[in-house]
Amino acid sequence: MSAVAVKYGELKALGVEVLAISVDSRFVHKIWQEEELSKMVPGGVPFPMLSDAGGRVGEVYGVYDEAAGVDIRGRFIIDPDFVIRAMEVMTPEVGRNVAELLRQVKAFQHVRATGEVTPSGWTPGKPTLKPSPALAGKVWKEWTPDKAF
């Protein structure tokens, strides 16, 4: 979460709204913000930390672990029409990649604006594909795996 906080300005510039949600109470969030997060990020986490008491939100998103009473860590990219476009749920011992989050947001925004598709590893400025019947069976002429890196 602190890594997302560091890139919050860049996310806001892309029009992204960031929310953090856990089963912890607002009082736990306040202490966590004051005692830990503010020491990692000047001023602490700049986006709302919401409480999912009872795990109802986590249950809807498929991340609530009822036996442990916690929401499993994950991230969701939700478009302006409230459609989940991407999700990543990982166990706590491996952190998520904020650079990949930014890349995916830019890719989804590009797709939404242009109707093009973004192949593996796409970043702004790299080639995209224009879906059409003429492309069927000929993607290899437009895109090769070396372009993913």
pLDDT in tens, 52-92: 999 999 999 999 999 999 999 999 999 999 999 999 999 88
pLDDT recorded at residue 91: 86
The alpha carbon of residue 99 and the mean position of all alpha carbons in its chain are separated, in whole angstroms, by 10
The whole-number pLDDT of residue 35 equals 95
What are the tens digits of pLDDT across the range 10-63? Answer: 999 999 999 999 999 999 999 999 999 999 999 999 999 999 999 999 999 999
Domain spanning 2-94, CATH class: alpha beta
Q: How far apart (Å, rounded) are the C-alpha atoms in residues 123 and 135?
A: 21
Residue 9 and residue 31: Cα distance in Å, rounded? Answer: 24
Instruction: Report how far Cα 66 is from the mean position of its chain's Cα atoms.
Output: 23
pLDDT at 69: 94
Taking the C-alpha atoms of residue 76 and residue 26, their distance in angstroms, rounded to an integer, is: 21
Residue in 52, 51, 50 with CA at minimum distance from that of residue 60: 52
Give the pLDDT of residue 92.
84
- Is there a contact between 108 and 77 (Cβ–Cβ < 8 Å)? yes
Q: Give the model's pLDDT for residue 15.
A: 97
User: What pLDDT does residue 47 have?
Assistant: 97
Q: How confident is the model at residue 104 (pLDDT cuts 50, 70, 90)?
A: very high
**Whole-structure pTM value:** 0.91
